Structure 1
Amino acid sequence: MNFDITRDGSPLHAWKNSERMASVPVIACEQLVPAHARAVIISPHPDVEILGCGGLLQLLARQQRNLMLVSITNGSASHPGSKLWTAERLGIIRPQESAEALRRLGLSMNRLQWIHGGFPDADLAGRQPALIEFLRTYLRPTDVVFTPWRDDGNSDHQAVAQAAVAVGAEIGCAVHEVPVFAWQWASPEDPRIPWKRACKIHLDRWTQARKRHAIQAFASQLSGDPEAGLAPPLTPAMLERMQQPFEVVFV
């Protein structure tokens, strides 16, 4: 499929008034992750776990599910060519931003296993065998895995999703995909979205508020670099569409 993630998608009111979105069935957290299962959130870059699953993470923590977060890269390539946001600075700051965001969600680090992959940012497409081997080390048959959607429009998201799906098929664990950048380019009627696989996780106002607060921890992603001609990676319009009273999962 062809995507242009620099293209701004439908405005928020189009999503709110969408009959297609209204018809997407609601799924309960406990249906997605049974009591005996461990939830594994795989994040290609620091912030994806909050943007895609910030509400789900809170619900899982309230239900005292075992949680594992797998950060594949440190996100050091988000501002290419910037002297303000250098790769060295980002490699330190972005994981710290993720830790602060998780704290803002109310997650206890004592109940969260956090694995850092150390893979190079923006260079995962050619590392599929290594990704598969890495995930194979940590995933278990009883896990329920959440990964970005393979057709999200980002090569790192695609590589991670394909590796997770491959390992899931091999060991028998459930793998669900979550749209992230799709909120940037898609429309409510977009035929490229796998609507038949879509389910909504309802988020109450408190859960939404905490997710919004957590997203604000990613100062690097809310900032551009005018001297380098770089806009903020996360635009206000994109964040609006990510902060609706639900999260979408393709099951």
Structure 2
Amino acid sequence: MTAPSRRTAATLLSLDRGVTPDLPLSRYRRALVAVPHPDDEAIGCGGLIACLAAQGCDVQLLLATDGSGGPDAPFNAVEIRVAEYARSAAILGARERARLMLPDSALRRNFVQLKRQTASHVRDFAPDLLIAPAIDDPHPDHAALASCMAALAFDLALPLITYEVWAPIQATHVLDIAPYLESKRQAIQVHQTALRFGNYLRAALGLAEYRSLLLPFRPGVDLYAEAYKIFL
């Protein structure tokens, strides 16, 4: 896999132009982002959300779980994390579509309800682009939500952009997020509850630096990128 030639920062650059085309983000007017937990929107695709919003796209977030977390989470974790999530969405320029508030770490057990509610919101919003966790993400909540979104993308013939959180993906496209890095950084930083249990900020920015190797090299310029697997 070779780095693409230099193109615009508002385009998802194909890593194999013989197989998949570049994807100019300006073509999309309504994007729905499926978010498993409060903080995944910023960690996984904060740069993409900010970029789409900057292009005038109506980006709406669909939060699947209540973010209650594990046994070490504070007693009022749901209230705190949802408030952090709302601030993150505002920083990235997105709007909230809905909060399904299904139990954290239990999307597989509530899969029928998840599938029904997700489909209802997608059909009501009528987006021209879907964004979701990677289908092979090892977190069971992420995988369950990804499965729902992949089925909807197929049924409705919509493009699906999948993002990485808990494991690197076999990317088809890369996005230069340097113009949106500060928005991504600030959005992650508001998730102070999650940051008590892991340095997600350092991990996300480190991954963005590593993924920048897929961009055209520019000596002396700090590059940052997000990588995606896209189904058109």
For Structure 1 versus Structure 2, the TM-score category normalised by the shorter chain is 0.7 to 0.9
Alignment of 1:1-251 (within 5 A): 23=3, 28=11, 31=23, 33=25, 35=27, 37-77=29-69, 80-82=70-72, 85-86=73-74, 88-105=75-92, 107=93, 112-140=95-123, 142-183=127-168, 193-195=169-171, 198-204=172-178, 206-223=179-196, 232-235=197-200, 237-244=202-209, 245-251=224-230
Task: Give the secondary structure class of the aligned counterpart of 1:221.
Answer: helix
- The change in CA–CA distance for 1:235 and 1:101 in structure 2 (over 3 A counts) is closer
Q: What runs of 5+ residues in structure 1 fail to find an aligned partner?
A: 1-19, 184-192, 224-231
Q: Whole-Å Cα distance in 2 between the matches of residues 158 and 124 of structure 1?
A: 9
C-alpha change, 1:235 and 1:60, in structure 2 (3 Å) is: closer
Q: Please, which runs of 5 or more residues in structure 2 have no aligned partner?
A: 13-21, 210-223
Secondary structure at the aligned position of 2:154 is classed as: helix
Q: Is residue 24–residue 199 contact of structure 1 (8 Å, CA) maintained in 2?
A: no
Calculate the aligned-residue CA RMSD, in Å: 2.4
Measure the CA separation in 2 of the matches of 1:98 and 1:242.
Answer: 21
User: What is the percentage of aligned positions where both structures have the same residue?
Assistant: 24
1:69, distance to aligned residue in structure 2 (A): 0.5
Do 1:45 and 1:72's aligned partners in 2 also have CA atoms closer than 8 Å? yes
Structure 1 residues 131, 118: CA separation in 2 closer, same or farther (over 3 Å shift)?
Answer: same
Size of the alignment, in residue pairs? Answer: 202
Say whether the 8 Å CA contact 2:65–2:102 is kept in structure 1.
yes
Structure 1 equivalent of residue 221 of structure 2: none
Contact 1:98 1:218 survives alignment (8 Å): yes
Contact 1:46 1:71 in 2 (8 A): yes
Distance in structure 1 (CA, Å) of the matches to 2:108 and 2:119: 18
Letter in 2 for 1:203: I
Deviation at 1:24, TM superposition (A): 6.5
Please state how far the C-alpha of 1:33 moved relative to its aligned partner: 4.4
Aligned 8 A contact 2:185 2:201 in 1: no
8 A contact 1:33–1:144 mirrored in 2: no
Cα distance between partner residues in 1 of 2:207 and 2:31: 21
| Structure 1 position 28, deviation (Å) | 0.6
Q: Which amino acid aligns with 2:132?
A: T
Distance 1:97 1:142 in 2: 25
Instruction: Choose between structure 1 and 2 for higher RCO, CA contacts under 8 A separated by at least 6 residues.
Output: 1
